[in-house]
Structure 1
Amino acid sequence: MKTRLLYIFILYSTLGFSQDTISELLKKHNSKGIPYISVEELAMPKTDAIILDSREPQEYEVSHIKDAISVGYDNFNIETIEKHIPKRDQEIIVYCSLGIRSEVIANKLKKAGYTKVKNLYGGIFEWKNKNFSIYNTQEKETDSIHTFSKEWSKWLNNGIKIHE
């Protein structure tokens, strides 16, 4: 069902119903139930949070934020999170490509009792667009970004777009 909704979104995007800005996109698709954190705030050295990547494993393998933990989207498992993050008041930042899938995962965390969950505004695309470093599975800096699809790649202005 989740994947079907994403494909419907992509279909509308290709038919010309896409949003003009990331802000408009997020306003349309997110409920505002999870607060955002800006990429600049997350990049600050004083930010002590666990970072969860809610994209699919193949996206994470191409590129991710340093020290992010891949939790996936389609196969997200709250029990696994509860084993690795037992403290419910731990600050957690969730991201995806743009901030839509990450809100879904953040809401699941919130429902499980986690109290300090935030969604990275604009996701890894905004992170790269603002020239922050990303890493591949060898933990080496890369300019390649998995864009989920060709249609979503329009939101990425920096880096090498990978969508296969």
Structure 2
Amino acid sequence: MIGFSQNDISKLLQKYNSESIPYISVETLQEDKSNIIFLDAREKKEFQVSHLKNAIYVGYDSFNLDSVAKKLTNKNSKIVVYCSLGIRSEDIGEKLKKAGYKNVFNLYGGIFEYKNQNLSIYNSKGKTTDSIHAYSKTWGKWLKNGIKIYD
């Protein structure tokens, strides 16, 4: 069942995304997280506050396909790209798809939705945290759980 907030997120994502990269829901991820490579498409300061367990920082403004390709040599690997809500991650997913990666997904609702469902996120020391970089006041309204950090 889709809740009210998810309907709002759906409208937001429809406004900014073309769905060129298929979404994967937080619920689906919980069913099977094995052999998934998580790529964090936020900025370094966002990643340092919190990220998904074992996520690889790839950035957005600083995204470099060559350096990512060195880390991800198997183009058939299951890759889930995420950002705050799923907007920047679609752009990065498109670049990966164009580069020949075949199994790329965009996390629906991003790390905000992950935290909104009370799932664990980790700080730069590898410890669980309730702090999450909320990007800006405009975007931060979508984060319902956790401690919002703005810098």
Q: Which TM-score tier does this pair reach, normalised by the shorter chain?
A: over 0.9
Q: Normalising by structure 1, what TM-score?
A: 0.86
Deviation at 1:47, TM superposition (A): 3.6
Counterpart residue identity of residue 96, structure 1: C
The residue correspondences of 1:11-160 to structure 2 (distance < 5 A) are 21-160=8-147
Output the CA distance in 1 between the equivalents of 2:86 and 2:147.
20
* Cα deviation digits, residues 116-153 of structure 1 (max 9, x gap): 00000000000000010000000000000101111111
SS of the residue 2:80 aligns to: strand
Output the CA distance in 2 between the equivalents of 1:31 and 1:110.
14
Output the CA distance in 1 between the equivalents of 2:52 and 2:73.
22
Deviation at 1:43, TM superposition (A): 2.4
Counterpart residue identity of residue 40, structure 2: D
- Contact 1:41 1:47 (8 Å CA) reproduced: no
- Contact 1:56 1:73 (8 Å CA) reproduced: yes
**Percent of aligned pairs with the same amino acid:** 60
Output the CA distance in 1 between the equivalents of 2:93 and 2:47.
17
- Where do 5+ consecutive residues of structure 1 fail to align? 1-19
- How many residue pairs get aligned? The number is 145
SS of the residue 1:21 aligns to: helix
Counterpart residue identity of residue 97, structure 1: S
Deviation at 1:29, TM superposition (A): 0.6
Counterpart residue identity of residue 67, structure 1: N
Output the CA distance in 1 between the equivalents of 2:79 and 2:118.
22
Superposed structure 1 runs of 4+ greater than 3 Å apart: none
Deviation at 1:45, TM superposition (A): 4.0
SS of the residue 1:155 aligns to: coil
- Where do 5+ consecutive residues of structure 2 fail to align? 1-6
Output the CA distance in 2 between the equivalents of 1:30 and 1:47.
27
- Contact 1:97 1:125 (8 Å CA) reproduced: yes
Question: Residue 11 of structure 1 aligns with which residue?
Answer: none
Q: Normalising by structure 2, what TM-score?
A: 0.93
Root-mean-square deviation over aligned CA pairs: 1.1
Residue range with higher mean Cα deviation, 44-53 or 77-86:
44-53
Counterpart residue identity of residue 79, structure 2: I
